[in-house]
Amino acid sequence: MQLLNSALARLSEDYLGGISVDRVVTVVGVLLSYVLAHAFQRIPARMAAAKHIFSIVSTIFLFGPVQEQYTGLIHMAVGSAAIYGLIRWIKSAYMPYIVFLVAMLHMSYSHIQRQIHERSTGAVVMDYTGAQMVFVIKVTSLAFCVYDGRPNVVHPHMSAYQRKNAISRVPGVLEYLGYVFFFAGFSVGPAFELATYRKMIALDDTRARRQLPRRAYRKLLEGAFWMVIYVAYSNVYTYQAMTKPQFYAHRSLLSSALYMCTTGLVVRSAYYTAWKMGEGACILAGLGFDGYDAHGAVQWMDIANVHVRGVELGSSLRQLIDSWNVGTNTWLRHHVYLRISRTPADGARASSTRATVLTFLVSAWWHGFYPGYYLTFVLIALAANAARILRRNLHAIAALPADNHASALRRCVKCAYDVAGWILSKYTLDFAAAPFMVLSLQPSMQLWRDNYFVVPLAVLGIFIAFNVLGAGRFIRSLVGQPQPAPGKKTGKRLKK
């Protein structure tokens, strides 16, 4: 809709601080999803086919005429047809892995085409690759769930999540397309399993439907709040400004750190805006319905792209990471990591090194091929490992007794420990995320160098102190803790 885009361009220029039109159009598409979700939930559960068709047609309208991503629609239509054929006709145990490879290679082509276009035009734009990333999570998850549900295959090491979402039969074409092209979460997520989609389609409870608007519009208001933050400060706080040497002319390291952390919050607010609004649209359509508890009360599963409180207030880097892009983390854990790291029959935990490395590589591949992505992922992986070492060795100093009867001094130490963990985790996250937003290699390295490589050097120092110099033994002797047995590493699960 050229007329709509022209109007939104004027709106952005006059009232939204010149935010790129593609971002504004994406938000408009999500807001229109709320209108469509009201209509969707009024279709009776017995008319499942009508719900599937409504979802498909709505996505074509929102992603086509509204967002003008016709090329993306063609890519995902062709991709969905090819992948459905693979899921239905390949009977071997390699089926989900073939689907995974085909979907990822197809998305890789789109990522490369986007980077070529951006390099030739010099403009970073939001195109259909964001929706295709959600698409890849859905179709690869479906392939694994179909495989898990095959009656002639024994799966002794399935997790509870995998058992819950296993599917005994390949879905029909209409249901498959309704799931893959579900309108409310198509562009910005969240991604979810087919079993979750089926529960939404079958929702026929007036009491449950009455709860939807309150839960959905709370998410919309939360997204609107973060949109105000982004509109107000996105031109004031940018990582691009920190790539210029003059930025540091009259700034101390502390001043730069404060600016970087504020920039990180502002940048994340753009994601919070789209993700929270997208969550609300999905909830309004009925997504997340999870049956009833023992007392007959309606149960809802967590349909989330992000847990903002965990990202902004988490006291550990692991908590921050787990709270960000929740759907992707779930996919990586249950359909990548746990597929690689199998528990042996004797119950001992297999080595997770290979699984961790491969999972990291899949995450990087899924995001694209900008050098900045890989700088971010490598540093986050190393920093998370370093944070795990610190917490394993320092937690005993600050931990409260099991009976919670602690002196005032002990409680002050615990509070200081949590605050320090929050500050260090936030700075580490914002420092590591800078290349993810800058994208290019040279400006990213320039930004890190102008901030004295604080986080990489700190990570290196932790590895040397605890893995080479034995700082962990010194700390344990200082607080009176027993030393680990020779040849055993603390924090590792011992073989039974």
Q: Residue 402: what pLDDT?
A: 58
Contacts of 220 (CB under 8 A, 6+ apart): 34, 276, 277, 280
Contacts of 204 (CB under 8 A, 6+ apart): 44, 45, 46
Q: Residue 494: what pLDDT?
A: 35
Check: CB of residue 362 under 8 Å from CB of residue 336: yes
Mapped to the 3 state alphabet, what secondary structure does 192-261 carry? CCHHHHHHHHCCCCHHHHHHHHHHHHHHHHHHHHHHHHHHHHCCCCCCHHHHCHHHHCCCCHHHHHHHHH
Q: Residue 496: what pLDDT?
A: 34
Q: What share of the chain is helix, strand, coil (3-state, %, to 5)?
A: 70, 0, 30
Q: What string of pLDDT tens digits covers the 496 residues of the chain? A: 666 667 766 776 766 666 777 788 889 999 999 999 999 999 999 999 999 999 999 999 999 999 989 999 999 999 999 999 999 999 998 999 999 999 999 999 999 999 998 888 777 666 899 999 999 999 999 999 999 998 876 666 778 898 899 999 999 999 999 999 999 999 999 999 999 999 999 998 888 899 999 999 999 999 999 999 999 999 999 999 999 989 998 899 999 999 999 999 999 999 999 999 999 999 999 999 888 887 878 889 888 999 999 999 999 999 999 999 999 999 999 999 888 876 444 444 555 556 777 887 899 899 999 999 999 989 998 999 899 999 888 877 777 665 566 677 778 888 888 999 999 999 999 999 999 999 999 999 999 999 999 999 999 999 999 999 988 787 777 666 666 665 555 444 433 3
Whole-prediction pTM: 0.91
Check: CB of residue 194 under 8 Å from CB of residue 179: yes
Please give the Cα distance from 15 to 25 (Å, whole number). Answer: 15
Q: Residue 464: what pLDDT?
A: 96
Q: Give the closest residue to 387 by CA, choosing from 332, 329, 432.
A: 432
Q: Residue 152: what pLDDT?
A: 75
- DSSP assignments along 172-199, one per residue: PHHHHHHHHT-GGGTTT-----HHHHHH
Check: CB of residue 281 under 8 Å from CB of residue 186: no
- DSSP assignments along 143-174, one per residue: HHHHHHT-TTS--TT--HHHHHH--SSPPPHH
Mapped to the 3 state alphabet, what secondary structure does 278-300 carry? HHHHHHHHCCCEEEECCCCCEEE
Q: Radius of gyration over alpha carbons of the chain, in Å?
A: 24
259, two tokens: 């600016």
Q: Residue 400: what pLDDT?
A: 62
Contacts of 374 (CB under 8 A, 6+ apart): 364
